[in-house]
Homo-oligomer: A and B are copies of this chain.
Amino acid sequence: MPAKTLEKRLRPRKKPRQTRALATQARILDAARRVFAKHGYAAGTTNRIADEAGISVGSLYQYYPNKDSILTALVRDHIEEGTRELLAATSAAGPGLEAVVRRAVTALVEVHAADRRLHRVLFEESPRAASLRAELARLEESAVALVAARLPSGDELTARIVVTTIESLVHRLVASDRPLDTGRFVDETTRLVAGYLASRS
Contact = CB atoms under 8 A, between A and B. Distances in A.
Contacts of A40: 127
Nearest to A192: B196
A167 B172 contact: yes
B180 A160 contact: yes
Contact of A133 (B161, B164, B177, B192): B177
Majority secondary structure of chain A interface residues (helix, strand, loop or mixed): helix
A184 interface: yes
A149 interface: no
A195 B171 CA distance: 22
A9 to B, nearest CB: 16
A191 interface: yes
Contacts of A178: 137
Interface in A100-159: 123-127, 133, 137, 157
A21 interface: no
Nearest to A1: B1
A93 interface: no
A13 B161 CA distance: 45
A157 B172 contact: no
Which 6 A-B residue pairs are closest in the complex by CB-CB distance? A124-B124, A168-B172, A168-B168, A161-B188, A192-B196, A195-B195
Given A43-B127, A125-B127, 17 more contacts: A42-B42, A124-B124, A124-B125, A125-B125, A137-B178, A157-B188, A161-B180, A161-B188, A161-B192, A164-B169, A165-B192, A168-B169, A168-B171, A168-B172, A192-B192, A192-B196, A195-B195
24 contacts: A40-B127, A43-B127, A124-B124, A124-B125, A137-B177, A137-B178, A157-B184, A160-B180, A161-B180, A161-B188, A164-B169, A164-B172, A164-B176, A165-B165, A165-B168, A165-B192, A167-B172, A168-B168, A168-B169, A171-B172, A191-B196, A192-B192, A195-B199, A196-B196
